[in-house]
Copies of this chain bind each other. A is one copy, B any other.
Amino acid sequence: MNLISVTDIKHKISSVGLKATSQRIAIYQAVMKLKNHPTVEMILEEISPLHPSISVGTLYKNLETLVEVSLLEKVKSEEGNYRFEANLDKHNHIYCSNTKEIIDYQDDELDLILFEYFKKKKLKNLKINDIRLQISAERLNINKEISIQ
């Protein structure tokens, strides 16, 4: 996900009817900037140098609010805590079992295959909103980039 400017963030926040406070901007920036779908603790660490008085309660509340208005999303994980992301583009997640990372994987061709596959399916009592992959994997070398081409 590409980082966006403070002005754009302000606009995103205002346009959903929220006040574009400095904390909300900082939270959104932190989630964008942190690479590994951060936990609350990670976000707090990232923010507290510039906002040392930020309250944990307010951080939780702001994260919840930003998720409710669909500016952020919660990421599914088996860890037993919350994780967040700012990338709202459709993408899949690679869960690295050895490094505990959650890595984005975007693949338009695959998205199309899945879309066409489920278009032919008869759904009973169910409305599908989104289909993504959960890819379980191991990172082979901690220092090298991962790719799927």
- Confirm or deny: A50 has a beta carbon within 8 angstroms of a beta carbon on chain B: no
B80 lies within 8 A of A78 (CB) = no
CB < 8 Å neighbour of A125 from B130, B136, B144: B144
A147 lies within 8 A of B133 (CB) = no
- Chain B nearest CB, measured from A142 CB (Å): 9
- Confirm or deny: A88 has a beta carbon within 8 angstroms of a beta carbon on chain B: no
A83's closest neighbor in chain B, by CB?
B78
Q: How many chain A residues touch the partner (CB < 8 A)?
A: 45
Contacting B at CB under 8 A, from A31-83, are 74-78, 80-83
A137 and B124 CA atoms in complex are apart in Å by 12
B129 lies within 8 A of A137 (CB) = yes
**Interface-forming stretch among A7-15, A20-28, A115-123?**
A115-123
- Confirm or deny: A3 has a beta carbon within 8 angstroms of a beta carbon on chain B: no
Chain B neighbourhood of A125, CB < 8 A: 139-141, 144-147
A73's closest neighbor in chain B, by CB?
B78
Interface residues of A (CB under 8 A from B): 74-78, 80-83, 93-95, 97, 110, 113-114, 117-118, 121-141, 144-149
